[in-house]
Amino acid sequence: MPAKITSSPRTVATQQTAAKTPKASTAATPQAATPSTGWVKAGGAATGSAIDSKTARTAFWHSPYTNADAKAAQKAFGLPSLDAAKEFIGKAVITRNEGPLEQKGISRERYDNHDCTVAFQRSQYSDADAKQALKKLPFLKNLAEAKEYIGLKVVNKNEGILTEVGVTTSKFDSHEMLAAFKRGGYSAKDVDQAKKKFDFLKGASTQEVKEYMGLKVLNDYTSMMTEAGITPGRDRHEIP
């Protein structure tokens, strides 16, 4: 009888499906848009320390900030020079960090207090005009405010309201002549003497005489008063 052949079962290899690991993306991570001042990129300049002086000053000059703003910044932040203040502002512009400036009243606007003061100083208005404005406009608190207000009207090209209260660029306004009288060193007794010496002043008020004498000071023509014995200081008519 032939031998029974027993077949050994073949080992069937079990194929396990390996989990596929996703490949790392080779696409570049999108970069945030870099803010720009309009002339220089601010990317990479997280702090002002990375910005050189020339770049900072250039940013200042291309910005709406003024020399008056720089002077205010120099004072407010204790900076050693005007150039240092310009660099300070320029760095604030580049880094988009102008908040500290605004907290000190320094902004891009043309109407900051210091800008208006500079406008006053550059105009033909005088301290006597500021005093007159302070006197005539009750909402003004002090002489500094009066100068700022006049400067604001200069910037706005709206000086009509000043003219309405007798404040003009003319040096012959009443208050200008009175201020000149005071600067001239004349006294109340000089006023009385002028009334006696000049017939056309005999019926004039004290203010009118002072204005007349102040006008002579402004015109640098005080010789006619000197000829009448009226000079600054103690004249004979001022001695008791």
Q: Token pair 């490949």 is at which residue?
A: 23
pLDDT band at 33 (very low <50, low <70, confident <90, very high): very low
pLDDT of residue 108: 84
Residues 182 and 227 in one domain: yes
Residues 178 and 220 in one domain: yes
133 domain residue, yes or no = yes
Residues 133 and 97 in one domain: no
3 domain residue, yes or no = no
84 domain residue, yes or no = yes
Contact 127, 139 (CB under 8 A): no
Q: Within a 10 A sphere around the Cβ of 201, how many other Cβ atoms?
A: 16
Q: Within a 10 A sphere around the Cβ of 143, how many other Cβ atoms?
A: 13
Chain-centroid distance of CA 66 in Å reads 7
Residues 140 and 194 in one domain: no
Q: Token pair 């910037």 is at which residue?
A: 155
Residues 205 and 186 in one domain: yes
Dump pLDDT digits (tens) for 134-179: 999 999 999 999 999 999 999 889 999 899 999 999 989 999 999 9
pLDDT band at 235 (very low <50, low <70, confident <90, very high): low
Total number of domains in the chain: 3
Residues 140 and 181 in one domain: no
Answer whether residue 67 shows pLDDT above 60.
Answer: yes
pLDDT band at 27 (very low <50, low <70, confident <90, very high): very low
Question: SS3 for 192-234, per residue?
Answer: HHHHHHCHHHCCCCHHHHHHHHHHHHHCCCCHHHHHCCCCCCC
Q: Which of 1-5, 47-51, 57-61, 218-222 has the lowest mean pLDDT?
A: 1-5
169 domain residue, yes or no = no
Residues 96 and 148 in one domain: no
Task: Report yes or no on whether pTM surpasses 0.75.
Answer: no
Residues 149 and 199 in one domain: no
Contact 194, 230 (CB under 8 A): yes
23 domain residue, yes or no = no
216 domain residue, yes or no = yes
Q: 178-197: b or e for each residue (b if 16 or more CB lie within 10 Å)?
A: bbbbeebebbeebbebbbeb
Most confident of 24-33, 98-107, 122-131: 122-131
Answer whether residue 70 shows pLDDT above 70.
Answer: yes
Residues 6+ apart with CB under 8 A from 59: 37, 39, 40, 89, 90, 91, 93, 94
Mean pLDDT of 210-236: 86
For the chain, how many residues are written?
240
Residues 193 and 221 in one domain: yes
160 domain residue, yes or no = yes
Mean pLDDT for all residues in the chain? 80
Residues 154 and 202 in one domain: no
Residues 187 and 222 in one domain: yes
Residues 154 and 197 in one domain: no
195 domain residue, yes or no = yes
The three-state secondary structure class of 41 is: strand
Q: Which domain holds residue 142?
A: 113-164
